Chains A and B, each alone.
Chain A
Amino acid sequence: MMFAVLQIPDFSLHSLLRFNPALRGEPVAVLEGEGRRARIAHRSIEAARITPGMTAAQALAECAALQLLCPSLAGEREAGALLLTAGWSLAPRVEATASGCVTVDLTGVDLQHLRQRIPALRAGMLAEGLPLEVGVGPTPLIAWYAAQQAGPESERWVDDSRAFLKPLPIEWLDPMEGERQLLQDLGLRTFGAITAFPRAAFASRLGVRGDELWAKAAGEYVRPIQPAPHPVRHRAEMDLEEPVETLEPLLFVLRRFCERLAFEVGQFGGGTSRLTLTLRLDNEKEWTRDFDLPEATARAELLFSVLENHLASLHTDSPIIGVELEAFPARRSRVQEGLFDTGLRDAAMFYATLGRLAAVAGSGNVGTPRRSNSHRPDSFCLVPPSATVPEQPARAAPPAAGPMLRRLRPPQAATVELTDARPSFLISPLVQGEVTVLRRPVWISGDWWAAAWAREEWDVRIGLSLYRLLHEPEGWFIEGIYD
């Protein structure tokens, strides 16, 4: 029996860089851990002075231009799916062993043929932005050890297990922290140093775990692999780190998706005849569209061009924060009609209309107004239009109901004469006459974000009618009439 391990080194870093081409060539490091416990996990070759385990502050002390990033779960998910597909391209039984690592059961595979295929596979993955290290050995674990020794340029085949294992460092045994410390303190640095002891001596000191460590070090540890289920659906999705407002970054992500999905459906169904694209917008809406293809294909460029053509004319009223693409497998011979059919014409039209409105009124001026949580009267924000009109909650009765105020929009400018700092006479196109102040003025002000604002409201009587006067730095206004 032989096994192959395919592994992407610095997985979280390469998964990130794959979707952020602008970071290539820059000193970049990936942090793992929360808050102040965060430590550098991986770094790009441009950040050579940074070593894993450094704190962010220490790393920045070494390299001021360093860009610190958090791992991208979506990026890792995508890269992981691609890696699995690469495994399936070699043999059907593939185990997702760890993050960025798959184990392939090579039972029945022509090893000679495999030797020829692996370089092409590695080149293909590299083109996807993912360097691949490949190790082949008689057990899954030895294959994994071999992968650790393989470089991006050549795979590592293990023929003589004993000789191969002897100099390997104990860290590769993946001991628990206490075990690692003990082995180090004992001066046992290599597999060979461990296997120099009788197995029973090890087990009597370190118990079952010690026995297992010894077996691993001797290459006697064999475990069955747990093959990953073949995908039922071929989906790719990603929450974008920054909301996307221009087409270019979105197309970059979609290109990566198309490449992976084409590879995947190519392995299983021969091709895809239908794509469903869903864009998650910042306004908590989703934009979904199905694309029927005239015939099943596994060509990434073709899939991408279909999407690109459509997206070129698409406007959304809100930045895109997430993207999802699903490819439905089909036999390549199948021909479908309606290449340019649109399943959700109304939705698209709706958002296109909103987009056009936004172009005219400004992007911040389209939506459903909602009162802001602020003391400032008439302050509001625009929220995305709701698909349904929500039921209005029953309003609690005000403690003392007064007359209703009919607002004048815009407020009617007025000239007001003051006596003892109180309005006494008012002239306006709407009404004029002596003013009787009914209540104390109300003062409201704020100055946190925008320019400071302040307003003074007076409830007054002019003639037989009641009004609310508004005094702002711009002057006096009639703000409303009480019924």
Chain B
Amino acid sequence: MAYVELHARSAFSFLRGASSPEELVSACADSQVAAVALCERNGVYSAVRAHMAGKEMGVRAIVGSEVVMEDDSVVPVLVENQTGYRNLCRLLTRAKLRSAKGEGASTWEELESHAEGLVALTGDEEGPVRRAWRRGDPAGAEEAVRKLLRIFPGRVHMELQRHRLRNEDIEEAVLIGLARRFGLPLLATNGVVYHVKENRRVADAFTCLREGRTLDTAGRLLESNAERCIKSPSQMEALFADLPEAIHATSHLAERLTFGLQELGYRFPDFPVPPGESVDSHLRNLTYLGARERYSLIGAEVRRQLDRELAVIGRLGFAGYFLAVWDICCFCREQGILVQGRGSAANSAVCYSLGITAVDPIGQKLLFERFLSEERTGWPDIDLDLPSRERRESVIQEVYRRYPGRAAMTANVITYSGRNTLREMGKVLGFSEDVLDRYTSLYSGGDYPETVDFIEQLKLAGISKAHPRTAHLIDLVRRVRSLPRHLGQHSGGMVLCAGRLDDVVPLENATMENRTVIEWDKTDCEEMGIVKVDLLGLGMMKAVEETLTLCRQRGRPVDLACMPKDDASTYDMLCRADSIGLFQVESRAQMATLPRFRPRTFYDLALQVAIIRPGPIQGDAIHPLIERRTQRQPVTYWDPRLEPILERTYGVVLFQEQLLRIAMELANFSAGEADELRRSIDFKRNQERMKKMQEKLRGRLLENRTSTDATDRILKALGSFALYSFPESHALSFALIAYASAYLKMHRAVEFYAALLNAQPMGFYAPATLVQDARRHGINVRPICVEKSQGGASVESDTAFRIGLRSLAGLRATSVDAILRARAERPFESLGDFVQRTNVNPRECHALASSGALNALAGSRRQALWETAAADLACDLFAGVKFSDTSAELLTPMPVLERIKADFAAMSLTTGDHPMKYIRPRFPDLWRADELVLGKDGARIRIGGSVICRQRPSTAKGVVFLSLEDESGVANAIVSSTLFERERLVITQNPALIIEGRIQQRQGVIHVKAETVRALRCDDLPEQASHDFH
């Protein structure tokens, strides 16, 4: 049998491998190498990717790992059977969990106790045998062989690698001698690090990064040739022509290594059920119990749907999963934590009945098959939205507590991308920090998608194309881009397991305390059938939760479940694009669409939420949808059979479910095939897969008498969906939260704004903008006061709330508690009493005084500053010296602009007017944001203000959208790609801008099309936070 490669590393060995697992497997397929073992350094990070790629390309992926030992030697081990895999995972977990992230070494005793089911190789130059020989210790080399044989009796192979290096034959002779002496079989490997010779450059660059060198100084640390690539069996046979047994041993060993990831042994945890119940019957009982609450009367349609879903769930054996998620939701409710399922789970009436989701799928006619079908592989995906931060963390920790050793977060693979790639490769090539800093400055502030090509970007950063190293830089960046850089943790994905999770996949510590992470990302988990529950933190959930609490406390409660979905004033507000602070509809793009789309029903709002997505934008769905909805265009269908499917979206394909129904009804796709189609859309990393599905769909559509034109349009819609679009159920779930936020802003504005501030950071706008918006809605936003403020923002009347003490920068949490505690005991009598009883430090005193928080005790900010100044004199000669005088009378009141500056310095916001109001007289030619409506379309004007948003969406062909805030509101400007590139630094580096351009008015939406941009320089205008992104 032919040679197979049993020792390769991919880039998942982080700086020790220079190709992706897919590239390596593909190279094996091209070279007729039937199997490959990816032995990543201290992990099985690439195992799933290699397994999946191998399945697709006909290459067997063998699981192995390079185990780092306590003496820094590296022992490659290959997995023989399931026991071996379990042992390997446990061994790696043990080493990792006692070490900091990214570190870990096993002891020889641990290796011995986990050796069953594993086969060891003696390793390459880092292996224990060659390391000993190389340091001139032949006895140590012998001892290493003995040790390996003792640990892996009969399962050690003497690894030989021939890389055409001088004197490797001498070392090889020693290894062969040892093998003969100890009866070890010889095994040829190529110690593969990259898939093709050209990627040796990446390996060199990674070596430099690992060693902290540049290519100029790395010298002989780099490889001396490019032989560590995938080689064909014939090449390897020629290389080892004198040792054919070493080649044959590879296939013999591969046959012996029967383990594959298909026998991973993963099982979802069994859910405990009451005696006499099965999980299925328990789920049925709970579902019907919940359905009675949800539907009050369970009609035939509801019963039919529930029975159908329960039957499918039962046949697929997923009942335990539903119960586990229900259990988490129950915990949340017990703790008063808002929870709501998002995503395709909202297509399930069972989920709705169990209280996991909040959208009635029957009422909304949602497609259950989008969520679950018998033909579909893998587990259903239920994502739960939770209030962000502490509340979510408490749920995560509860899951760890309920599933000890059986739960962990999924990983998130951070790849080389963006400007950091250039920075790291630039360093390797010896480019100066100045140049790299300049590049970073130019392309900072949001990683905008670029319209100028990479070479032009380099030129702008001062890296000439003629520079002798520029070509290398470009080549390296291109090769390195999208290779894994390091492993992070997924924002909320948790996997659960019936037995020990470290029998399934190694665990390691996360950077966050009390969190463990598995080595695979969510896609890997999905591929392996590992069930993941996403516990996602949503700032708006936190805000809504707090709003409801505040309303309840103030005696005007709102029941989220009973909130009327047809409140006209709420929709009026949305139609006015009065949406600052609202969930999903507050962005500039949403604001530009709201007055045109004019949502009047809950479903309209779901459409509104779904419309501003890259998918519909790229698919040119927005314009027809708006025009048809407002009856400016007739509703037409590409094919009459599409009418029932697309009726609710005016003939436009907007949701994933619609696409699946088109495939099922016009192309006769089965539910399983439709699901495969959905997965091909989701899997951006596999273009081939998507192309195949597109061809299949095209063929079936044409077979079913669909016209070529309609087929092309459907396929175009499919193509744009690959660029993200929502499932209808997801849009409806989000629309629920969006509506709730809008309703609360309309009817409980004061509580809502207070809660929004307390949920920061979240959303699109900084607190300063939210406060200004609140003021524009007639709310009196009161400043911090040590006598009245709570920790967070607190409501004081139906039209007023007060900023909380926690908003004050520099005031420690312990000081906030001390102030509240002291005040609860008895009111502060004087400033002196306050300082004495709260023990705030001088710096905090100054912050409190300058922000006006002590005005109630001192009269004015300056008097408070004057009176508290002595607090800093603890060790001073004058400490304790009392000087009674009336000098405070000499202090003049703080002018308004100074007050605003002090507010921004202390809280990054002001409760007073926007500072532009006061500096406007210095810029008389600037139009206010609320005056733009008076301007004629095409009129040339100037606007100016604090930049609160810089956005360059990938769908906008390089156009940049800027939002400038002034005392009257927010003015939006459109900057062409050319102007942006010309004034990139001015736009990205200045906190306030003056923009000159022409007014564009379209159906009530006003923009200024920028012609010139310059910095608005004024010391009295404090710098505001800007939300910059793409």
Asked whether A and B interact, the reply is: yes
Contact of A182 among B441, B472, B846, B882 (CB under 8 A): B846
Q: For the complex, is A35 an interface residue (Cβ under 8 Å from B)? A: yes
Q: How far is the CB of B444 from chain A (nearest CB, A)?
A: 8
Residues B441 and A57 in contact, CB atoms below 8 Å apart: yes
Report chain B residues within 8 Å CB of A201: 883, 885, 887
Known: A58-B989, A443-B164, A448-B204. A185 touches B224 (CB 8 A): no
User: Which residues from chain A contact B872 at a C-beta distance below 8 Å?
Assistant: 178, 207
B891–A181 CB distance below 8 A: no
Q: Does B547 contact A (CB under 8 A)?
A: no
Among A35, A449, A457, contact of B437 (Cβ-Cβ < 8 Å): A35
* B560 is an interface residue with CB less than 8 A from chain A: no
Q: Residues of A contacting B219 with CB < 8 Å?
A: 372-374
User: Which of B217, B224, B437, B895 lies at the interface centre, i.e. has the most chain A CB atoms within 10 A of its CB?
Assistant: B224
CA–CA, A373 to B219, complex, Å?
A: 5
Asked whether B919 is an interface residue with its Cβ less than 8 Å from the other chain, the reply is no
Surface stretch bound by B, among A150-158, A218-226, A300-308, A434-442: A434-442
The answer to whether A373 touches B887, judged by C-beta atoms less than 8 angstroms apart, is no
B472–chain A nearest beta-carbon distance, Å = 7
A186 lies within 8 A of chain B by Cβ: yes
Which residues of chain B from 203 to 244 have any CB-CB distance to chain A below 8 Å in the complex?
204, 215, 217, 219-220, 222, 224-227
Within 8 A of A (CB), among B154-180: 162, 164-167, 169-170
Query: Is B774 at the interface (CB under 8 A from chain A)?
Result: no
- In the bound complex, residues from chain A placing their C-beta under 8 Å from that of B217 are 373
Indicate whether A445 reaches chain B with its CB closer than 8 angstroms.
yes
- Shortest CB-to-CB span from A177 to chain B, Å, is 11
Establish whether residues A205 and B891, one from each chain, have CB atoms under 8 Å apart when the complex forms: no
Shortest beta-carbon distance, B981 to chain A, in Å?
13
Check if B167 sits within 8 Å of A400, measured CB to CB. Answer: yes
Q: Could you mark each residue 411-443 of chain B with 1 if its beta carbon is under 8 Å from any beta carbon of chain A, else 0?
A: 000000000000000000000010001100110
A347 to B219, CA, bound (A): 34
Contact in complex: A445, B226 (CB < 8 Å):
yes
Q: Which residues of B contact A56 (CB under 8 A)?
A: 437-438, 441
A373, B222: Cα distance in complex, Å: 10
With beta carbons under 8 angstroms apart, the residue of A57, A178, A207 that contacts B846 is A178
B810 CB to closest chain A CB, in angstroms?
12
Closest chain-A Cβ to B240's Cβ sits at a distance in Å of 10
- Is A149 interfacial (CB 8 A cutoff)? no
Q: What B residues does A204 contact at CB under 8 A? A: 870, 878, 881-883
Q: Which residues of B contact A462 (CB under 8 A)?
A: none
Q: B883 near A440 (CB under 8 angstroms)?
A: no
Which residues does chain B contribute within 8 Å of A198, judged by CB atoms? 883, 885, 887
Q: Please provide the chain A residues from 189 to 221 with a CB less than 8 Å away from any CB of chain B in the complex.
A: 196-198, 200-201, 203-211
Q: Is A314 an interface residue (CB 8 A)?
A: no
Looking at the assembled complex, report how far the CB atom of A243 sits from the nearest CB atom of chain B, in whole angstroms.
16
C-alpha spacing A447/B201, complex, angstroms? 9
Let me know if A186 and B870 touch, CB within 8 A. Answer: no
Which residues of A (359-387) have their CB < 8 Å from a CB of B?
A: 372-375
Partner of A207, one of B136, B873, B898: B873
Q: B846–A181 contact, CB under 8 A?
A: yes
A373 touches B862 (CB 8 A): no
Question: Is B911 among interface residues, defined by CB-CB distance under 8 A?
Answer: no
Does B989 contact A185, Cβ atoms closer than 8 Å?
no
Does B824 make an interface contact (CB < 8 A)?
no
B170, B441, B985, B1015: the one contacting A399 at CB < 8 Å is B170
Residue of B nearest to A54 (CB): B989
Does A60 sit at the interface, judged by CB under 8 A? yes
A197/B890 in contact, CB under 8 A: yes
B722 part of interface (Cβ distance < 8 Å): no
CA distance A443 to B890 in the complex (A): 87
In the complex the two chains form, is A182's CB within 8 Å of B870's CB? no
Contact B883 A442 (CB under 8 A): no
Of chain B, the residue at the smallest CB distance from A36 is B437
List B residues 763-806 near A (Cβ within 8 Å).
none
A203 touches B985 (CB 8 A): no
Considering the chains assembled together, what is the distance between the CA atoms of A51 and B225 in angstroms?
54
Minimal beta-carbon separation of B630 from chain A (angstroms): 42
Chain B CB within 8 A of A111 CB: no
A contact residues around B849 at 8 Å (CB)? 185
The tally of residues in B whose CB lies under 8 Å from a CB in A reads 64
B879 touching A196 by the CB < 8 A rule? no
| B162 contacts A61, C-beta separation under 8 Å | no
Which of these, A35, A197, A208, contacts B887 with CB under 8 Å? A197
- Does A55 belong to the interface (CB within 8 Å)? yes
Task: Confirm or deny: B877 has a beta carbon within 8 angstroms of a beta carbon on chain A.
Answer: yes
Out of A62, A196, A445, name the residue touching B1015 (CB < 8 Å).
A62
A207 to B1015, CA, bound (A): 42
Contact B862 A186, beta carbon cutoff 8 Å:
yes
B890 touches A196 (CB 8 A): yes
Q: Which of A441-476 contact B (CB under 8 A)?
A: 441-449, 454, 457
Structural contact, B891 and A35, CB atoms closer than 8 A: no
Closest chain-A Cβ to B122's Cβ sits at a distance in Å of: 18
Contacts of A449 in B (CB 8 A): 468
Bound CA span A302–B165, Å: 66
Residues of A within 8 A of B224 (CB): 375, 444-446
Inter-chain CA distance A15–B967, complex, in Å, is 46
State A381–B201 Cα separation when bound (angstroms): 23
Per-position 1/0 for B858-880, Cβ under 8 A of A? 00011001100110110011110
A390 close to B (CB within 8 Å): no
Contact B862–A187 (Cβ < 8 Å): yes
What residues on B are CB-neighbors of A51 within 8 Å? 1017
Complex interface: chain B residues within 8 A of A444 (CB): 224-225
CA distance A197 to B891 in the complex (A): 10
Candidate in A197, A203, A207, A445 with the most chain B CB atoms within 10 angstroms: A207
Q: Which residue of A lies closest to B164 (CB)?
A: A443
Q: Mark B483-514, 1 if CB is under 8 A from A, else 0.
A: 00000000000000000000000000000000
Whole-angstrom CA separation of A446 from B224 in the bound complex = 7
Q: Which A residues are in CB contact (< 8 Å) with B861?
A: 185
Of all chain B residues, which has the CB nearest A211? B878
Within 8 A of A (CB), among B870-910: 870, 872-873, 876-879, 881-883, 885, 887, 890-892, 894-895, 898, 902
Shortest CB-to-CB span from B769 to chain A, Å, is 23
B551 at the interface (CB under 8 A from A): no
Is residue B990 within 8 Å, beta carbon to beta carbon, of the partner chain? yes
A423 smallest CB distance to B (angstroms): 15
Taking the closest CB of chain B, its distance from the CB of A253, in whole angstroms, is 24
Q: Which residue of A lies closest to B222 (CB)?
A: A375
Given contact pairs A203-B883, A442-B164, a sample of 15 additional A-B residue pairs in the complex whose CB atoms are under 8 Å apart: A57-B441, A57-B988, A60-B985, A178-B872, A185-B849, A187-B898, A204-B883, A206-B869, A206-B870, A207-B872, A208-B878, A373-B220, A374-B220, A440-B169, A443-B227
Interchain residue pairs A-B with the least CB separation, the first 4: A373-B219, A61-B985, A207-B876, A204-B883
CB-defined A-B contacts under 8 Å, sample of 10: A35-B437, A56-B437, A181-B850, A185-B861, A203-B883, A375-B220, A375-B224, A399-B167, A399-B170, A443-B225
B residues lining the A interface (CB < 8 Å): 133-134, 136, 162, 164-167, 169-170, 201, 204, 215, 217, 219-220, 222, 224-227, 433, 437-438, 441-442, 468, 472, 843, 846, 849-850, 861-862, 865-866, 869-870, 872-873, 876-879, 881-883, 885, 887, 890-892, 894-895, 898, 902, 983, 985-986, 988-990, 1015, 1017
By a beta-carbon cutoff of 8 Å, the part of chain A in contact with chain B is: 35-36, 51, 55-58, 60-62, 178, 181-182, 185-187, 196-198, 200-201, 203-211, 372-375, 399-400, 439-449, 454, 457
